[in-house]
Amino acid sequence: MTTVSAEEREGAHARVREAIADLRPLLVDVSMDLHAHPELAMEEHHAADRLTAELAREGFAVERPVAGMATAFVGRRGTAGRHPRVAILMEYDALPGVGHACGHNLIAAGGLGAALAVARALPEVPGELMAVGTPGEEGEGGKIIELEAGVFDGVDSAIMFHPGSHNWAIRHATASCHVVMKFYGKAAHAAGAPEKGINALNAAIHTFVHIDALRQHIPETSRIHGIITHGGDAPNVVPEYAEAKFLVRSLTMRGAEELLAKVKACAEGAALANGARVEFETGRTYAERKNNRVLAERFTRYLEATGETVEEPVLRGGTGSSDIGNVSLVLPTIHPYMAIAPKDTPGHSREMAAAAASERGQEAMLHVAEAMAHVAVDLFLEEGFVERAWEAFRTSGPDLPA
């Protein structure tokens, strides 16, 4: 690490503030562009094109595709492999039916803004700055794929944020497992020869009934929720195929995987009772989250300097899940929340989708982009800061409810 004076560090922070002010029209335009063009997980070609174009325009060396994903990318400034290595992460996938109701357009624009501001503040980056595009957060686990592919090898800190209805520097997140259940029966005329059919839809429906009974015997912090994605083709044909998708959540990866085994047993019992059979396709397990207190405290200081008020963290069960949890178990990571909507507005709602395009949403995105950029500058310039973040990582565990 290059040793710099306090005056030089303050000069870099002043340039961050200037950069965010200058980038404001661009970042709002990027946010609204992505909001107007919602793309599902692993299909975010418009978003990836726009984000990588902006990075390249600012002198980032852009690699795409990454980790075998067409919409994943890494933009780099500085010296490859030189420490500190700081990664600023972006998400940009939307949800089926409700678009950017999780505000990933703001995550993308805010991450882009933070990366560009750091690059402008530190024209000669004393390390390596990485702007990492992480597709498929909504179920496909893009960050996990990147982690397994080595994208985060040697990275000293990962920084990103998430929109919500509270300003929190840290927050617990549950671990989760995705599973697709495929039920196979036998087609027959539903009126003329129902006794010759095997009803795959009944097996799927009874799976939901069995899981409802299971809910009486799981911790209140666990969650099981699913939908039927295929229930047959015509009411006068006994359904020979049915499909359901479930998310199983618990406080830890181990708990989620143990609960998933019970959910599968519910489906197997339902299939057996109806004479059908069931097959499972299990997705990647999202881990619980380990918030880095050293980075979170520094982020809080800079966010409050923008005029925002950071609330005391609420660590409780029953929260959502994210593949940032897997990254957080490997290296110092922060994933703060930024209020863009009235308190307790539910995520994944049409109200949250509207907030992601609101004036408040854009203002919040700019504030958090500035705060993230300041944290990154300190990681590059402040002697001992990276080491303190790693020490906090080594001596703490995931944030779990008391």
Q: Which residues of the chain have pLDDT under 70?
A: 1-2, 315-318, 402
Burial 131-155 (b: 16+ CB within 10 A, else e): bbbbbbbbbbbbbbbbbeeebbeeb
CA proximity to 337, closest of 318, 357, 317, 315: 315
User: 65, 72 in Cβ contact below 8 A?
Assistant: yes
Distance separating alpha carbons of residues 191 and 48, to the nearest angstrom:
52
What per-residue confidence (pLDDT) applies to 308? 97
User: 326, 287 in Cβ contact below 8 A?
Assistant: yes
Q: Which residues contact 402 (CB under 8 A, 6 or more apart)?
A: 315
> What is the SS3 assignment for 92?
coil
Which run of H or E residues covers position 262?
helix 253-274
Q: How far is CA 103 from CA 90, 110, 302, 347, 352, in A?
A: 11, 11, 22, 9, 7
DSSP letter string, 239-259: -SEEEEEEEEEESSHHHHHHH
User: 103, 345 in Cβ contact below 8 A?
Assistant: no
**What are residue 40's phi and psi, to 5 degrees?**
-75, 170
Query: Cβ–Cβ contacts within 10 Å for residue 384, how many?
Result: 9
Alpha carbons within 13 A on the beta-carbon side of 382? 16
333-334 vs 157-159, strand pairing mode:
parallel
294, two tokens? 């050293």
Q: At what angle do helices 359-381 and 293-305 cross, to 10 degrees?
A: 130
Q: How far is CA 130 from CA 26, 83, 90, 154, 278, in A?
A: 20, 12, 11, 12, 43
What per-residue confidence (pLDDT) applies to 222? 94
What per-residue confidence (pLDDT) applies to 401? 77
What per-residue confidence (pLDDT) applies to 89? 98
User: 107, 90 in Cβ contact below 8 A?
Assistant: yes
CA proximity to 250, closest of 162, 348, 172: 172
What per-residue confidence (pLDDT) applies to 2? 62
What per-residue confidence (pLDDT) applies to 312? 87
Claim: this prediction has a pTM higher than 0.75: yes
85-90 vs 128-133, strand pairing mode:
parallel
Alpha carbons within 13 A on the beta-carbon side of 213? 11
All domains in the chain, ordered by first residue:
6-173+288-395 (3.40.630.10), 175-282 (3.30.70.360)
Which stretches of 95-199 are DSSP H helices?
104-121, 142-149
**What are residue 180's phi and psi, to 5 degrees?**
-105, 130
What per-residue confidence (pLDDT) applies to 81? 85
CA proximity to 211, closest of 168, 264, 257: 264
